[in-house]
Every structure is written in structure tokens, then in C-alpha cells.
Chains A and B, each alone.
Chain A
Amino acid sequence: MFCGCRVEFGAAPNSHTCPTCLGLPGALPVMNHEALRLTVLTGLMLGCDIAPLSKFDRKSYFYPDMPKNYQISQYDLPLCANGSVPLHDLAYPKDAQKKIATPEKEVPLVRIHLEEDVAKSFHLENNTAIDFNRAGTPLMEIVSQPEINSPEEAFAFLTALKQILIYGAVSDADMEKGQLRCDCNISVRPAAQQELGAKIEIKNMNSISAVRRALTYEVERQTEALARGEKLEQETRGWDDGAGKTFLMRTKESAHDYRYFAEPDLVPVKTESLLEEVRARLPELPRAKRARFVEQYGVSVYDAAVLAHDLALAAFFEAAAKGARKPKSVANWILNDLQSALAGAGRAIGDCPISPAALDELVNLIESGKISGKQAKEVFSEMFASGKSAAAIVSEKGIEQLNDPTEIETLCEQVIAANPKPVADFRGGNSASLNFLKGQVLKLSKGKANPALVGEILERQLKT
């Protein structure tokens, strides 16, 4: 944030440090322009008010992860205030999507400020070991209002927030790599009570589902404690994912006195120029993209949500759908066959052996009647395995849909002659028999006959 050290996950300890992030005497901080831009961009994406004038402050505290004994943070003039994170159905855990208490809820934010991250401490048996690589990394703190009402809502909040950060190219927001971290403050209270209960902070969760588990555990623990007549006090607890429990880390000693004061080594920030710089970077947000997919490509609301849930998937869809005769079919192929093939091969969409244009070509072969849907499945597997184009596979394997009405008529005549009973049933009013006869014609054609054409011709022949 205030020095030029590289940020690298998993680097050798203390290999990315300098006098500034080690907090050596005399070292001076300089603000990272891009970190300020990305914070302002995040503020714009979340509908925050951007402070015209912002500044940094020193937050005094004593801990070996911050050897200069203060962290440069923001106190009374944070870059962003207010705003909200909009939740949507797919952001909730899968098993909770059917029973969402307040659909389309917007969780209001308090503020977003920027600070320097601190070093990473390893607590060993007899001492503590410190790695300063992380010290000085820009850390954007997003604080929500206490208006998240369930572990599932917290899950949806983090999922939706993460998505927006990815859309804006602000962060990859991978919790396992520490790019997104989360401290939860949770309290319970009797149904009739107005004021919030004692605030208990939980740390150490390294995935969004761990956040949900920790909160579920805490709700139960706190509720039981209150039911036993215990009084809950403000404290900090850690989450042990293996044990599925939270444990006490520290109680709130005398209220913290951070003795904030303006950082004299940094000049204030006027955000006007930053705003101008990032306006052009403002992306189409998930909600707008979902709506546009429905409007522009005619996909269902649900399909649009699944596609827009993953920015890479959305980009793939759009690249393929642009030239498609029927974008909805493209969406179906992506959401069904392509996604299950990718999952089966353990590959991500960014590493897909079929390009958007190649998928588009396949779908157009079906739409134009050159190959049947059944044949397309075969072509698709071959495309996924070999990376060859649909047209190449079709001509190589001699796959071709039979569209010649005369030939189909002959096939239909044969089937009608061979199946007197279903024919009589159909003529007697049992329309389901038509499907059986149609299946027989397709079988006779070895799957090559155009099913729609077979249906038409068969019906005509049966009715005359």
C-alpha cells in the first residue's frame, strides 16, 4: 500500500519486504495510486458515497505484527460511506435457495476504507514467529451494517460481494489465498427485544461455507447460553473448522483506545481525479448482466442467473451467443453438456477445449438441420476430447442428418407396414402411438433421419 513490495501468495517468508513495510525508523510511506482507484471503483460499484476529501490516520496498537506500533488506516474520512450489497437467489447456499426469507435483499454498508495489512503471525508452542511478506499489502475494509439475519444471508452477502469484486477486476477474492478475509460480528437477542445482544466477533474462517458453519454454531451456542440464563459479554472467538466449534480468543479488555490521529507522513486525498480515472472501468454489474441476458438473448431468468454467476462463463456464453441463430440453445449446451463435461474432466471454463465459436458452429449445425440433436451429442463428446471442430468431425465420420423427404417417406411406409397394431391404435385415437412409430423410423434410419420431418411425414401418411 505504501511501498513497492511484491504481493505473492506462498512466497518464502520475509522475501518481499523493505524498510517501509518492516516499519524501520525513518522509512516513509507513499500511497499506491492504483489501490486508491480500486477502492473508489468498489465504492462506485456498491453505490457508496465517495468522500470528496479523504485522509489516512495512525491507529496505535502494540503487537509484533506491526513493529512501528501503529497501523496506517483511515478513521474519520474513509474513502467510501454507505452503499449496499444486493443479494440474489443463486448467491445463497444451494440447499437454502428454496427458502429465502427476504429475496432481493440489499445489505446496507457503513463504510469502505483502505489500510495497510499487517504481518502474518504463527503461534508456536513456545514463541511466535512473524512473516512480513503480507505486511503493507493494500487492505480494503468493507464494513456492513448489522442487518444480516442468518448464516445463509451472510453466505449470500459474501458470495455477492465477491462476485462484484471479480466483475470490477478489483480482486480475485479467493478466500483460501487470503485475498478475501472476513471477520463476523454476531449477536442473538430474545424475539421481543429491540436492542442488539452482546457483540461477539469470530475470526479464522477461510471459506464462505466455513463462515456459514461458524455462524450456525454461534447462533446455537449463544441461544443456549441465554436460555441457561447466562449473560453474554463482548469477546473475540476463533473458528476451528476441523472441530466445528468456536473457541474463546480474548475477552474485550478495557475498551480499545487506538488514539487515532492524522498520519503526518501522508497528504490528504482529493478523490475527484480518482473518480474520473475509474468511471470508464465501471463494469456491467451482475444484476444488470442477468437482466440483459434475459432481454437480449431470450434465456430464462434462472439460466441468466447461472451464466452471470461466473464472469468467465458469462463471457464464454456471450462470445458464443453473438453469432448464434438461437442463443437459448447455446445457453442450454453450455449449462448442460459443457458444464458437466468440464466438471467430469475437472477443468475450469477458462481451460475449455471447445472455443465459444466452435460451440456456436455445433449449435448452428443443429439449428440448420444438418445434424440431429442426438448426433450433436456424439459430435460434442468428440469435440471435447479432441478439440476438433464440429464440421470436421461431421465430415470425417460421415455424420449427416437425413433430410430427404422421399427417403423418409419410404422409411415411414416400411414402418407403417410392419406395425399394424400401433397404426390401428393411432387411428383409433391413441396419439401416443405416434411416438412409438416415430422411434421405429429413427431406428430404421440409424438415427440419421430428421426427427421433426419424420413426425410430420408419418402423421400425414397415417391420416390419409
Chain B
Amino acid sequence: MAETAHIDVAHVAKLARINLTKEETKLFQTQLERVLGYAEKLRALDLSHVESAAHAVPIFNVFREDEPRDGLSAEEALRNAPRQANGLFVVTKVVE
């Protein structure tokens, strides 16, 4: 089954903003294809009698009522920020 599973590790790494060396790309290519191969095994099963589910557990409608709660103070929220100014998180300039 493993030979039918395909993954473009270089592309996925780019999407996930991960820099991989050539060696790593090659290594993960083999490893991840093997993982996908396991998933492919499911295709071999006859699932025609199984209803498709949106979640692994058959539980629905777990809600919270619309009641406001106190959270963190601005000081606490910013405590781990590498950079901050005027109560704001400061990050490297991003181009909008």
C-alpha cells in the first residue's frame, strides 16, 4: 500500500514554515510516506455500513453560556512577550 501514498514533504514543510535540509527532507519523505501507508490501509476496509462522523466521539453540542468572565490583566497577558510597548505586543514588521 505504501507505494500509492504520496506526500510532497518539501511543500508541506514550506506551508508549515519549517526549514529542512536536503537530508531531512529525504528522511521525512520516507518516514511520512510510511505513516500515510498505514492510513491507506483503511481504504481496503469495507466501510459502506459505517456512517461518516465529523468527530471521533459521538458527542454533540457542548456549549458555554454567553457569560463574560475575567481573564488576564494586560500586565499578565504581556508578561511573556519578548517585546512590548504601550500595552501592545510588538513583533517584527509584517507587510499587510
B9 within 8 A of A: no
Binding-face segment, A16-24, A331-339, A410-418: A16-24
Q: Is B86 an interface residue (CB 8 A)?
A: yes
Whether the Cβ atoms of A77 and B54 lie closer than 8 Å is yes
Question: Are B15 and A53 in contact, with the CB atoms below 8 A?
Answer: no
- CA–CA, A35 to B63, complex, Å? 10
CA gap between A22 and B55 in the complex, in Å: 25
A304 to B70, CA, bound (A): 45
A129 with B15, Cβ < 8 A, contacts A3-B71, A31-B63 known: no
Given contacts A14-B77, A14-B88, A129-B88, contact A60 B15 (CB under 8 A): yes
Task: Find chain B residues with CB under 8 A from A122 CB.
Answer: 88
Partner of A127, one of B60, B87, B91: B91
Interface residues on A, range: 35 or more
For residue B45, CB closer than 8 A to chain A, the reply is no
Which residue of chain A has its CB nearest to the CB of B71?
Answer: A18
B56 touches A264 (CB 8 A): yes
Say yes or no for B72: interface residue by CB 8 A criterion: yes
Interface residue B93 (Cβ < 8 Å from any Cβ of A)? yes
Question: Would you call A123 and B71 a contact (CB within 8 A)?
Answer: no
- What's the least CB distance linking A258 to chain B, in Å? 9
Question: Using a Cβ–Cβ cut-off of 8 Å, how many residues does chain B contribute to the interface with A?
Answer: 36
Check B88 against A13 for contact (C-beta < 8 Å).
yes
CA distance A257 to B12 in the complex (A): 10
A15 x B73 contact (CB < 8 A):
yes
Q: Is B41 an interface residue (CB 8 A)?
A: no
Task: Verify B66–A34 contact, CB threshold 8 A.
Answer: yes
Whether, in the assembled complex, B65 has its beta carbon less than 8 Å from a beta carbon of chain A, the answer is: yes
Q: Which residue in B56, B74, B95 is a CB contact (below 8 Å) of A15?
A: B74
Check A4/B87 contact, CB under 8 A, given A17-B77, A123-B94, A267-B61: no
Q: Is A130 an interface residue (CB 8 A)?
A: yes
**Is B19 part of the contact surface with A, judged by Cβ < 8 Å?**
no
A32 at the interface (CB under 8 A from B): yes
A190 at the interface (CB under 8 A from B): no
Q: Would B15 and A262 count as touching, CB distance under 8 A?
A: no
| Segment touching B, from A268-276, A284-292, A305-313, A342-350 | A268-276
For the complex, is A191 an interface residue (Cβ under 8 Å from B)? no
B90 within 8 A of A: yes
**Complex interface: chain B residues within 8 A of A32 (CB):** 63-64, 66
* Contacting pair B54 A55 (CB below 8 A): yes
> Does A408 sit within 8 A of B, measured CB to CB?
no
Q: Which chain A residue lies CB-closest to B69?
A: A4
Q: Is B44 an interface residue when CB atoms closer than 8 A count as contact?
A: no
Known: A121-B96, A257-B15, A262-B54. A5 touches B71 (CB 8 A): yes
When the two chains form their complex, are residues A17 and B89 in contact, meaning their CB atoms are under 8 A apart? no
Which residues of A are found within 8 Å of B59, using beta-carbon distances?
267
User: How many angstroms between the C-alpha atoms of A462 and B73 in the bound complex?
Assistant: 86
- Complex interface: chain B residues within 8 A of A241 (CB): none
A-B pairs, top 5 by smallest CB distance, nearest first, are A18-B71, A4-B69, A34-B66, A33-B63, A129-B88
